[in-house]
Amino acid sequence: MKISIRIQREDFDLNREVTMLAGDGESGAVASFTGHVRKEEDLSTLTLEHYPHMTEAEIARLVGEAGIRWELTGVTIVHRVGPLKPGERIVLVAIASQHRHAAFAACEFLMDYLKTHAPFWKEETRGSEHHWVEHRASDDEAAKRWQK
Amino acid sequence: MKISIRIQREDFDLNREVTMLAGDGESGAVASFTGHVRKEEDLSTLTLEHYPHMTEAEIARLVGEAGIRWELTGVTIVHRVGPLKPGERIVLVAIASQHRHAAFAACEFLMDYLKTHAPFWKEETRGSEHHWVEHRASDDEAAKRWQK
Amino acid sequence: MTLLYFAWVRQKVGKGEEQMALPAGDIAGLIAHLKSLGPNYAEAFADLSRIRVAVNQHHAGLDAKVGANDEVAFFPPVTGG
Amino acid sequence: MTLLYFAWVRQKVGKGEEQMALPAGDIAGLIAHLKSLGPNYAEAFADLSRIRVAVNQHHAGLDAKVGANDEVAFFPPVTGG
């Protein structure tokens, strides 16, 4: 299984990431997810903070768990940090497999666990006000679906 | 809901397609699927034939059904036809929504229905032999999951 | 009536499209008529479990009614995606 | 012991990282000690239902044991993805 986990300030090229995962013909299916900053009336910036090292370690643990649950040929996760504008991409989870159902399931599993386990925090800037985004109970519920 | 349905011989740029769907900040989530030609020992070319006009009409009907079942902000479907080499992309289904679960579900639904309803046929070239790919019963089973 | 053939149905029939003046009827009757036209049609339509039909670009069954101005397509189960 | 603070915990404590010489114990005891150090800590740790903990970069509970060489991080429930 090819694994690439990157925390970075820069944007990513989805086309390039998927080609790197599946361009060799080893995988018939790639399921991808991108999360974007939603435009809201007075939201000017969404700033992401993280816990360096633990972020990568925690994501690697989640990827390892996904690799046990499904037959995967590749996983690429890119999570951006720093200030982002409405419409910009926050996160990419791309999963390659020989089977599309495995790719979809692992992609959704990793998104649900990223949202509840990976140490990132979002701060919104609205006008001159800053405030931290609250964790959502619905994300905990989503992650619980996968508990065996 | 932004809808783009294209049948084309050329490859597509996934990054561009997703930016067109979600770059305006109206959607927080984009789930995408790309299907690729798998490398097999003696497979040199996979050639896709389709039923012009019906293909677009049938895909539009499926997209309409997805738009009734889930709250979506955009759907882009690109399906290639003509000769393709191992590793090349065959199909893109990209779904934008405010909610990631809706995006994932609609993406999987559309892939399952594309495989069972859209009039495309694959012919494999192996050495000097050509043969038509057989429809798989597992694809029918996958599509049946969605019947209400 | 416009008849269209795709994939191996097209190869067995030996053409992709043809016009035919036919009385109104159902798909099953149309296929029976086609099979009487020659061994190429007889072979293409030998096993109806492997044939799918569309009438005016909508999937249809063997009992669908067709008339002079309809477009009828015959093809194997689809394998796209 | 290395202590790390993130997001609003960092802002309330007023720093992101500090070293402290502390006896071995559990996280609950460590938090009780921190709250005694000043109103900034008392405010940051006022509502433990809003605090999450990692020990050596693994998620941990309030009953986790920590010693002199451990890295302990305090932060709000995560909101990435």
ipTM: 0.95
Place of tokens 């569309």: C54
Q: How far apart are CA A138 and CA C26, in angstroms?
A: 53
Can you give the pLDDT at residue A110?
98
Q: How many contacts does A have with B, using Cβ atoms within 8 A?
A: 105
Residues of chain D predicted below pLDDT 70: none
Q: Hey, is the C-beta of A26 within 8 angstroms of any chain B C-beta?
A: yes
Contacts D58 to A, Cβ<8 Å: 57
Can you give the pLDDT at residue A146?
94
Can you give the pLDDT at residue D80?
96
Can you give the pLDDT at residue A5?
98
Q: Report the percentage of chain A scoring pLDDT > 70.
A: 100
User: How many other C-beta atoms can be found within 10 angstroms of the C-beta atom of residue D71?
Assistant: 16
Q: In the predicted model, what is the mean pLDDT of residues B13-39?
A: 96
Mean pLDDT, chain B, rounded, equals 97
* Chain A stretch 90-109, residues whose beta carbon is closer than 8 A to a beta carbon of chain B: 98, 100-101, 103-104, 107-108
Q: Hey, is the C-beta of B37 within 8 angstroms of any chain A C-beta?
A: yes
pTM of the model: 0.96
Place of tokens 């690729």: B36
pLDDT score of A148 more than 80: no
Query: Which tokens belong to A90?
Result: 């926050």
Strand D52-55 versus strand D71-75 pairing type: antiparallel
pLDDT score of B148 more than 90: no
Cβ of B33 and A101 within 8 Å? no
CA angle A103, A104, A105 (to 5 degrees): 95
Can you give the pLDDT at residue A21?
95
pLDDT score of B82 more than 80: yes
Query: From residue C30, how far is each of A81, B87, C20 by CA, in Å?
Result: 64, 42, 11
Q: How far apart are CA B42 and CA C52, in angstroms?
A: 30
Query: Looking at the partner chain, which of D4, D6, D58 has a beta carbon nearest the beta carbon of A121?
Result: D6
Query: Looking at the partner chain, which of A38, A100, A108 has a beta carbon nearest the beta carbon of B33?
Result: A100
Residue in A with minimal Cα distance to D79 = A121
* Residue closest to A90 by CA, chosen among A113, A111, A63, A72: A111
User: What tens digit of pLDDT does each residue of A97-145 get?
Assistant: 999 999 999 999 999 999 999 999 999 999 999 999 999 999 999 999 9
Q: In the predicted model, what is the mean pLDDT of residues A10-33?
A: 96
Can you give the pLDDT at residue D23?
85
Q: What single string gives the DSSP state of each residue in A82-140?
A: EEE-TT-EEEEEEEEESSHHHHHHHHHHHHHHHHHHS-EEEEEEETTEEEEPPPPHHHH
